[in-house]
Amino acid sequence: MDNRSIGFFDSGLGGLTCIPYLTAALPEERIIYFGDTARTPYGSKATSTIRNFSMQIADFLVQNDVKMIVIACNTVSSICLEDLQFRFPEIPVVGIIAPAAEKVAASCGNENRVGIIGTKVTIRSEAYNRLIRELKPELEVYSEPCPAFVPLIEEGIIRNDIMDMTIRYYLDDFVLENRLDTLVLGCTHYPLIRDRIERFYPDLRIINPSEEIICSIQQILTERSMLAIHSERENIFYASDLSENFMNMIETIFSSQEMKVQFKNLDIENTRK
C-alpha cells in the first residue's frame, strides 16, 4: 500500500482528460496535477525548452512526495521520457505514448490503416511510428501535425465553426487520401474535440491515449504493491496560470463527477532554490 499521490503533468489542461479514466479505474488514488498554463502550448517549441520546463515540473512533483510521475502530455513523452526516468530512478515515470502504441498493435490487424495526429514536436519525433513498427512491423502508419488544435482548445474555442473548420483543414485529406480506419489522438488535448472529429468521420475507430495510459498505471502500481487504500489526501490541481480557461475546463471535465478538488496557482519558475 502506498497512499502518496500520483503526480500528473501536462503543458496545460490537456492532461486533465486522463483524470476521469483514472478515477473510474482506481477511485482510491489521489493525484497532484500540474498544468503549465502560463507557458502553454509546448508542441511547437524547441526541444531544449520543453526539456527544461519538464524537468522543473517533475522536480516540483517529486518535492511534493508523489509516488509516481505520469507524463500526461504526448509532446513531453515523445522527447524526454528517458531523461525523466534517468533523473528519478527511485520512482516510476510513465509516458503516454507506449501504452497507446501497444493498444494500436494489439487491436489492429495488418489490413488496418492507422493515422497519428499530434503537435509538431510529437509528430517530428516519430515516437509513435517507431514503437508501433517495433510491435507490428506490417502495419501502415501515417502521421500529421495539427499545430492549431492546442492553442484553440486552450482558448476554449471548441464547440464552434472555427474548430470544425480547423478539423477539416487538417484531417479531410489526411483521413481520406490515406484511407484511414483508425486514428490515434496523439495529444492529450484532442479528446476534448473527439466528438467534433467523430461527427465528420463517423467510421473512424478512435484510440485515446488518455484512456490507455490508465492500464499502465494500474499495472505498475499493482505489481509494486503501491495501490492506495483510503488515502486521506486531497486531489490538488496546480496551474502556473490559474486562468479562467483552466478553471472552466476542470469544471467541464469534472461536472459529472463527485470529486473534491483544490486549485492552486504556482509560480513554477521559482520553485527551485
- Residue 1 as a binder of a second copy (CB under 8 A): the answer is no
Q: Residue 57 corresponds to which amino acid?
A: I
45 binds a second copy (CB under 8 A): yes
CB 69 within 8 A of CB 96: no
Told to check if 59 binds a second copy by CB under 8 A, we report no
Candidates 107, 160, 219, 248; binder of a second copy (CB under 8 A) is: 160
Rank residues 46 and 106 by Cβ distance to a second copy and give the closer one.
Answer: 46
Task: Give the span between the Cα atoms of 149 and 231, in whole angstroms.
Answer: 36
Task: Return the range that interacts with a second copy (CB under 8 A); candidates 33-41, 67-75, 108-116, 184-192.
Answer: 33-41
Which span (18-26, 105-113, 163-171, 190-198) binds a second copy, by CB under 8 A?
A: 163-171
CB of 11 to a second copy, least distance (A): 11
Q: Which is nearer to a second copy, 99 or 186 (CB)?
A: 186
Closest CA to 104 of 205, 23, 207: 207
- Residue 173 is a binding residue for a second copy (CB under 8 A): no
82 counts as binding a second copy under rule CB under 8 A: no
**CB 165 to a second copy: min, Å:** 5
215 is catalytic: no
The total number of residues shown for the chain amounts to 273
Check if the beta carbon of residue 240 is closer than 8 Å to that of residue 268: yes
Q: Residues 6 or more apart from 241 whose CB is under 8 A from it?
A: 37, 38, 265
Q: How far is the CB of 79 from a second copy (least distance, A)?
A: 14
Alpha helices in 88-193 (DSSP H): 97-107, 120-125, 127-135, 149-154, 161-177
Question: Would you call 187 a catalytic residue per the annotation?
Answer: yes
Number of residues that bind a second copy (CB under 8 A): 34
Q: From CA 241, how far away is CA 55, in angstroms rounded?
A: 18
* CB neighbours of residue 75 within 10 Å: 32
75 lies in the site for a second copy, by CB under 8 A: no
73, 80, 108, 146: the active-site residue:
73
Closest CA to 84 of 60, 120, 100: 60
Beta carbons of 9 and 84 less than 8 angstroms apart: no
Q: Which stretch binds a second copy (CB under 8 A): 17-25, 131-139, 155-163, 176-184?
A: 155-163
Does 195 contact a second copy by CB under 8 A? no
Q: Which of 18, 80, 146, 187 is catalytic?
A: 187
Buried b (16+ CB within 10 A) or exposed e, 20-35: bbbbeebeebbbbbbb
Please report whether residue 172 would count as binding a second copy according to CB under 8 A: no
Stretch that binds a second copy, among 18-26, 34-42, 98-106, 196-204 (CB under 8 A): 34-42
Contact 71, 36 (CB under 8 A): no
By the criterion CB under 8 A, which residues form the site for a second copy?
37-39, 41, 44-46, 48-49, 52-53, 147-148, 151-152, 154-157, 160-162, 165-166, 169, 240-245, 265, 267, 269
Annotated catalytic residues are 73, 187
